[in-house]
Amino acid sequence: MKTTILGATGFVGQRFIQLLQGHPWFEVTVLAASERSVGKTYADAAHWLMDTSRPDAVGQKTVVACTPEAVEKAGGVDVVFSCLPNELAGPTEEAFARAGLPVISKASAHRMDADVPLIIPEVNPDHDGLIAAQRKARGWSGFISCDPNCSTTPLALTLKPLLPFGVKRVHVTTLQGLSGAGYPGVASLDALGNVVPYIGGEEEKIERETGKILGRLHPEQSRIETAKIEVSASCNRVPVLEGHLENVFVEFDSDVSVSQVREAWDQFQGAIHGLKLPSAQPPIVYRDEPNRPQHRLDVLTGKGMSTTVGRLRSDGPRRIKYACLSHNTIQGAAGGAILHAEVLKANGALG
Ligand SMILES: NC(=O)c1ccc[n+]([C@@H]2O[C@H](COP(=O)([O-])OP(=O)(O)OC[C@H]3O[C@@H](n4cnc5c(N)ncnc54)[C@H](OP(=O)(O)O)[C@@H]3O)[C@@H](O)[C@H]2O)c1
């Protein structure tokens, strides 16, 4: 299928280009970005930041505007990946859905819309059942399906296998890598040798999104019944390049042992297990060493598509605590969105 990336010159856009190189189902055919880049070759417009070479064919493409008309003029596509700034993504993604295209979005603009799925492929791919209701309500033949915030992903993923124990309350403290702020991101004088205990809007996103992802698709497939879990987040920017590490404290309705939790994670294969999707990796990998996971050692586990978990211990009656780590621009952004598109294709939602 032919794809476009809206925001192709940014950090996440580049990760999409890197991960889609040689993909068996999706080919990057149109690159779109801001007026600053439109009309330039991608090589001139984008300051390439990936650790593999920029594909030659991509470098020679001319960047177009983020409108359905410009993308159509450049050859047209079947699928849209959006990694636009949040404030711009809302109306732009709607224009593409109205033009009949499926939009897989990394931006936050539509994540909490009642008729828009918010999907982690291994956790709640069935929420794509909302797409029909969205089309009907909005009168468009395309659709928008969103990915969560990059710091929500490892939290919701590691909580999913624990839901049968009755998860009641969750506290999470994050240590988030610099690439989470895009490029050029946090000024070096703020970032180096420093920890900044504030990331605008991040805590609210984790607190809101987790319940929607862990919720249940209503039998009429018209809305999500949000999981009744109290989530409180505290977010920190730390001077590592990639990876968000999280210290998670969970309180259950009743007593749960550490070994029960460990067994639940070990047995968790994810909702897409068996579909043999090209980007799928083991969703959760547990490490027994007392000092793991670590950004430098574990962030690329499962090609950056696995959440590494460790330090599971009791925190008193009905409570446990653990640490988890996820690659924010692979599992938490481009890789997660590509897997999301793969599951939609496998389920027939991409046509
Ligand atoms: N970084 C992460 O780890 C991460 C993880 C999950 C989700 N996200 C989300 O993904 C999105 C992109 O993040 P990023 O880190 O890639 O940001 P970024 O590096 O700042 O890239 C922003 C992209 O948007 C384009 N853009 C900016 N203003 C535009 C406009 N007015 N019209 C059209 N295009 C415009 C830029 O194009 P020009 O180069 O032409 O300016 C660039 O391609 C954001 O919504 C972010 O919240 C990021």
Q: Report how far residue 313's alpha carbon sits from residue 179's, in angstroms, rounded to the nearest whole number.
A: 30
How many CB atoms sit inside 10 A of residue 36's CB? 10
pLDDT exceeds cutoff 90 at 92: yes
351, pLDDT greater than 90: no
Could you read off the pLDDT of 280-325 as tens digits, one per residue? 999 999 999 999 999 999 999 999 999 999 999 999 999 999 999 9
Task: Return the structure tokens found at 231.
Answer: 């989530």
Domains, the chain: 2-149+334-346 (3.40.50.720), 152-327 (3.30.360.10)
Catalytic residue among 66, 83, 150, 324: 150
pLDDT tens across 99-137, in order? 999 999 999 999 999 999 999 999 999 999 999 999 999
Report the SS3 class of residue 98: helix
Query: 63 CB less than 6 Å from ligand 1?
Result: no
* DSSP-derived secondary structure for 118-176: B--TTT-GGGGGHHHHHHHHHT-SSEEEEPPPTTHHHHHHHHGGGGGG-EEEEEEEEEE
Give the mean pLDDT of 184-207.
97
Q: What is the Å distance from ligand 1's center to 63 Cα?
A: 15
Å from CA of 230 to ligand 1 middle: 30
Q: Answer whether 59's CB lies under 8 Å from 43's CB.
A: yes
Q: Is 7 in the pocket of ligand 1 (CB under 6 A)?
A: yes
* pLDDT tens digits for range 313-350: 999 999 999 999 999 999 999 999 999 999 999 999 99
Mean pLDDT computed over every residue of the chain: 97
Secondary structure of residue 310 in the 3-state scheme: strand
How far is ligand 1, taken at its centre, from the CA of residue 66, in Å?
A: 12
What is the pTM assigned to this prediction?
0.98
Q: Does 326 contact ligand 1 (Cβ within 6 A)?
A: no
Determine if ligand 1 sits within 6 Å of the CB of residue 13.
yes
